[in-house]
Structure 1
Amino acid sequence: MNTKILTNCKIYTFNPQQPIAEALFIQDGRILAVGNRSDISALADRNTIVEDMGGQVLLPALTDAHIHMLEYGHSLQRVNCETSTRAECLQRVQDRVEQTPAGQWVLGHGWNHNIWPEGSGDKTMLDVFSLQHPIYLTHKSLHSGWANSAALQLAGIREDSPNPEGGVFQRDANGQLTGILLEGAMRVVEAAIPHPDQNACVHALSLAQKSLLSFGITCVHDFDPWDTYTALAAMQDDHQLSLRVMKGIPLPNLDEAIAIGLKSGQGSSHLRIGWLKLFADGALGPQTAAMLAPYEGSTSTGMLFLQGEDIVEIGQKALPHGISLAVHAIGDRANHEIINGYAQLDEMGLLQKAALPARIEHVQLIDPQDIPRLAVYGITASMQPIHAISDRHMADRYWGKRSEFAYAWNSVAAGGARLIFGSDAPVESPNPYWGIFAATTRKPLDSQEKLDGWYPQQCLSVADALAAYITQPHRIAGQSGKLGVIQKDACADLVCFKSDPFKIAEADFVDLLPQATMVDGEWAFNHA
């Protein structure tokens, strides 16, 4: 029996019956008692490890409720294209080409032409570096890609190739391929990239896990391809999986999931089945998010992949088998269509068939008339606050005054919907304290602004932002009372800080990092 006492600390329990404590008693990874120092110290015997926390602050560990964990792990090994200029991005690509044997792929992630003074790139800028290396760089949004001629050739994309379903091979004014691929067109190039074997996937997931634990994150809701599950299961079998992962099911794997009897919420304490992931539209950056009215200065309304009746059709197939739905939606039309679909499923009595509530991923722009409908149909809004401070200038440019209801956390919460937060890493950093800063200020991370943030009426309190990372994700996952709280019989998943997150200035969240992270009563990360 492994017993441990953490004492001389300030504990925010997130248990309204006992909000503050000074010490806790842990046995075999579970919390057995929470209270004052003297009462908890009296529980010790000669085998109990007593750790004096030196006045530090403890909270329940955090959850990233929307992440692409394998892609994040891979991104840690790829060219970092998140630069302020196109020239800097190209220099990084050239440096990697020079270090890479001819014939091998050069992969990168994070470019964003919307913030580059030079604008978007094309294949010729990459061809300059090499025609012997296929080069492929994913946009920050993961909804467009940039390839050189060698990559296009390996993918079988020619000048006369028609656009694939749900995607576009971008062409210039002369009808020539630019090397920019939108939405489904990305899959054509990605299919030509050698698939990493399980060892490579495990390595990438291990890198991601190490990074996430350093942020005090012990649980994630993952939406990567299904083969990620196989690698995670291998890590679990080898006792290498410290994180608690809820693994989403991609739509192409639905039939397989039904055939083998997978159900949302099913699994072990560290690897459970999550939601069926669908895509209703694209993204703001490439203007493929589906809109009720055209983008500012344009006739385009983006790309709508699923309408309400499609959601109903898929729900009729998945929900009776206990598989819950989570649908990606950025634009106001996409959100409207999803809510319409969920409303019909609710009226049919199908939303209640699965153990986990229906979700919309991102909810980046929503018609104000649709906000109260989220609560009416029990829809969870899964949002990523850091998107707001990254996207605010694009949103103003392409959505104009509609941005009043972009990233509208406060309106969504006030409307009664459940609100959970994540990062969408590697689209953004998984640092949740940057997310809390964004949610409470709506200002850039490097902001010197003394004025209010962008549409400040949508700001949340620190307490509400923390709840969206700590308690709410476990409530919708059916783990309330077990995780996201420090109380008797809960798992001992904790995060430790030198500074008090409830007392620091909002600007200090930008630099806030944990001292240590505990999973199942053991320290999984310690700041050396």
Structure 2
Amino acid sequence: MSSIVTVLHDARIPGRPEPVDVLVLDDGTVEVGPSRSWPEPGAAGSPIVVDVEGRWVVPGLWDEHVHMLQWSLARARVDLSATRSAAEAVQVVADHLAVLPDTETAPRVVGDVVVGFGFRDAMWPDLPTRAALDAVAGDVAVVLVGGDCHCGWVSSAAAQVLGAEVDASGILREEEWFEVSRRLDRQAESELDGLVVVAGTFAAARGVVGIVDLEMADNVRAWQRRVAAGATSLQVEVGVYADRLEEWIAAGRRSGDVVPDTGDLVRIGPLKVMSDGSLNTRTAFCCAPYAAGPDGEADAAGAEAADLAAPATEAHEDRGALDVEPEELRDLLLRATGAGIETTVHAIGDAAVGLVLDTYAELGIGGRMEHAQLVARQDLPRFAELGVVASVQPEHAMDDRDVVDRYWAGTSAIPYPLASLVEAGATVRLGSDAPVATLDPWAAMAAAVHRARDGREAWRPEERIDVRTALAAHARGRDEVRTGDVADLVVVDRDPFGPDEPLRDMPVWATMVGGRWTFRA
């Protein structure tokens, strides 16, 4: 029989009127019962009693889509998120370079590259150019990473250091950019691991108990190192991309397996396939052409009619493009599923979403889709029918609302559906896609429940969901703490279900993973 290890005394469960005690058992599960008196500390056989003083206890929160290394690095990079033009971004770089110490290092190496993060050029009135960046960078290698992580702005010196070919714009997109991004990350492993340890601690302080890490890297070996270095705040499911899939299969790795030398913290996760690009980079594959932006790069004429025009699989310059051909997508999903590896597919544009659903239907297998930012109405019920989980990031809607209104003005599909997916019966999971959005589940829940930020009116308010549904989507289906649950718990200072609760700034008092404290305020 299990014994009580820790008692969370005088706790409240959101939605329940009476205080309770949450008993953490030595098998890593919980019991929930009426609040009562406990023996004095130190009495023989007595559990540790933690008086939470009427605070609220909710299930531990998972971030279902993280690029953990990129998130850790972004926190230390030059912040470009507030820039509103190419000229402004260049000025931020100039100001940063002006305060850097002089260096005589020559030739420059990757570690010397100055990296900025977070620019979003879709709404800029001017265009990025390599010449503008070179004018302030000179012989300093400078790389600016787009806020959606699907593009980078590269100076001439950086292109030389990184072995990249860039045109007059200085912009690299999609796979060309991903290759350069991977080269940027080749720093001392111990330095990078230390950044991840710190980032994991910050995540635990926001109530995160686990993440799905979809970094484009050797995530198995990376997390073995990180756990050894002290990254024990989070449970982790690690993903793999096509370039390492055969290695995983040869090693007999199956989704759900514990990764050796990580205790029980790290498990094998899914194969991730990129089917298309992103909205801000205007590479997401859509049925209708992108409306014309400030540089006029797309023709909006006849956009609505294009919904019924060329086949969805036919790439078109102003509709984005596929990153993987349908036959290759089919082969990858079959190969992984047959080897016991779950699958998830990045799909943002409605043409890509439809194609991915078609592929799952053809193969007769379930899976998961990342983002689903633009979905045709007829595709909504197919998520539930096919058993395809919708892994979405509500905070992206707050970042992209103006971009959607400009570039997807001509579409008949639904941008950033959430309530529509829930009402159609889809299983919905929430995440951040950090560093694209902050690794903070309360920010994501606020965006899902209120569809508003920064004092603006709610955007497409018909897609709001209630707090209980948002909590369950961030806690792998758990909408409250119940007897028999795993002891992954979060203690917060305010009632998440309270009237007019903003959620975004929710104070977290403590976080527990498997009955072990990972954060105490």
Q: Give the TM-score of the pair, scaled to structure 1.
A: 0.85
Give the stretch that moved more between structures: 25-34 or 41-50: 41-50
Q: 1:302 to 1:40 in 2, by over 3 A?
A: farther
- Paired residues for 1:55-66 under 5 Å: 55-66=54-65
Distance in 2 (CA, whole Å) between partners of 1:199 and 1:283 is 32
CA distance in 1, matches of 2:21, 2:136: 59
Partner Cα separation in structure 1 for residue 154 and residue 268 of structure 2: 34
1:187 to 1:26, Cα distance in 2 relative to 1, 3 A: closer
* Cα 1:34/1:320, change in 2 over 3 Å: same
Return the alpha-carbon distance in structure 1 between the equivalents of residues 61 and 361 of structure 2. Answer: 31
CA deviation after TM superposition for structure 1 residue 25, in Å? 1.6
Question: Quick one: distance in 1 between partners of 2:183 and 2:482?
Answer: 50
Instruction: Give the CA deviation at 1:294.
Output: 1.2
Give, in angstroms, the shift of residue 128 of structure 1: 2.4
> RMSD in angstroms over aligned alpha carbons?
2.5
1:192: Cα distance to partner?
Answer: 4.7
Give the counterpart of 2:271 among 268, 276, 290.
Answer: 276
Question: Which structure 2 residues correspond to residues 205-284 of structure 1 after superposition, within 5 A?
Answer: 205-237=196-228, 240-267=231-258, 269-284=264-279
1:413 aligns with 2:414: no
Q: Equivalent residue for 1:70?
A: 69
Q: Which runs of 4+ in 1 moved over 4 A?
A: 18-21, 39-46
Measured against aligned partners, the alpha-carbon deviations of 1:219-247 in whole angstroms (never above 9, x if no partner) come to 11110023233221123345542200010
Q: Match of 1:369?
A: 378
Q: Hey, what's the Cα distance between the residues in 2 that align with 1:194 and 1:384? A: 25
More divergent stretch after superposition (142-151 vs 88-97): 88-97
Deviations 1:9-61 (A, max 9, x none): 10249xxxx99761122234723421011287799855421111111111111
What secondary structure does 2:490 align onto?
A: strand
1:453-495 CA deviation, whole Å, 9 max, x = no partner?
22221111111111110133xxxxxxxxxx8863444332211
Instruction: Give secondary structure in 2 for the equivalent of 1:129.
Output: helix
Q: In 1, distance between residues paired with 2:39 and 2:12?
A: 15
Comparing 260-269 with 417-426, which one deviates more in the overlay?
A: 260-269
C-alpha separation between the residues in 2 aligned to 1:419 and 1:440?
A: 14
Structure 2 distance, partners of 1:440, 1:190, is: 34
- In the alignment, which residue of structure 2 is the partner of 1:107? 115
How does 1:388-427 map onto structure 2 within 5 Å? 388-400=397-409, 402=411, 405-427=414-436
Aligned counterpart for 2:388 among listed residues 366, 374, 379: 379
SS of 1:184's equivalent? helix
Q: Relative to 1, partners in 2 of residues 1:401 and 1:10: Cα closer, same or farther, differing over 3 Å?
A: farther
Q: What is the alpha-carbon distance in structure 1 between the residues aligned to residue 182 and residue 451 of structure 2?
A: 38
Determine the C-alpha separation between the residues in 1 that align with 2:211 and 2:178. Answer: 25
1:500 aligns with 2:509: no
Q: In 2, Cα distance between the equivalents of 1:519 and 1:57?
A: 17
Which secondary structure does the structure 2 equivalent of 1:322 belong to?
A: coil
Indicate if the aligned counterparts of 1:76 and 1:207 stay in contact, CA closer than 8 A. Answer: no
Contact 2:288/2:410 (<8 A) preserved = no
Q: Does the CA contact (< 8 Å) of 1:367 and 1:405 recur in 2?
A: yes
Q: Would you say the 8 A contact 1:329–1:360 is kept in 2? A: yes
Deviations 1:419-439 (A, max 9, x none): 000001100112222211211
1:124-523 equivalences in 2 (<5 Å): 124-157=131-164, 169=166, 171=167, 177-190=168-181, 192-193=183-184, 195-237=186-228, 240-267=231-258, 269-297=264-292, 298-299=298-299, 300-346=318-364, 351=365, 357-400=366-409, 402=411, 405-443=414-452, 445-449=453-457, 453-472=458-477, 486-506=481-501, 508-523=502-517
State the AA in 2 paired with 1:374.
Answer: F
1:155–1:201 Cα change, 3 Å: closer
Deviation at 1:250, TM superposition (A): 1.4
1:8 maps to amino acid: D
Alignment partners' CA distance in 2, 1:264 and 1:19: 40
The answer to whether the Cα contact below 8 Å between 1:134 and 1:148 also exists between their aligned partners in 2 is: yes
C-alpha spacing 1:368/1:511, structure 2 compared with 1 (3 Å): same
Partner of 1:178, secondary structure, is coil
Contact 1:308 1:340 in 2 (8 A): no
Are the aligned partners of 2:28 and 2:486 in contact in 1 as well (CA < 8 Å)?
yes
- CA deviations on 1:350-403 (whole Å, 9 max, x unpaired) are x2xxxxx51000000011111111111100000000111111111111111537
- 2:112 equivalent to 1:121: no
Count matched residues. 482
Structure 1 191/315 Cα, relative in aligned 2: closer, same or farther at 3 Å? closer
Partner of 1:8: 10
- The two structures have a TM-score, normalised by structure 2, of 0.86
Q: What CA deviation, in whole Å up to 9, does each residue of 1:159-178 have, x standing for no partner?
A: xxxxxxxxxx5x5xxxxx22
CA distance, structure 2, for counterparts of residue 404 and residue 455 of structure 1: 13
Residue 137 of structure 2 aligns to a residue whose secondary structure is coil
Letter in 2 for 1:144: C
Where 1:425 maps in the other structure, the secondary structure is: coil
Task: Report how far residue 287 of structure 1 moved.
Answer: 0.8
After superposition, what is the alpha-carbon deviation per residue over 1:162-214, rounded to whole angstroms, capped at 9, x for unaligned? xxxxxxx5x5xxxxx22111112213533553612321221121122012111
Please state how far the C-alpha of 1:215 moved relative to its aligned partner: 0.9
In 1: Cα distance, 2:439 partner to 2:509 partner:
17
Paired with 2:330 and 2:9, the residues of 1 have a C-alpha distance of: 52
User: Which runs of 5 or more structure 2 residues have no equivalent in the other structure?
Assistant: 293-297, 300-317
Displacement of 1:270 in angstroms is 1.1
Preserved contact between residue 194 and residue 229 of structure 2 (Cα < 8 Å): no
Residue range with higher mean Cα deviation, 184-193 or 425-434 = 184-193
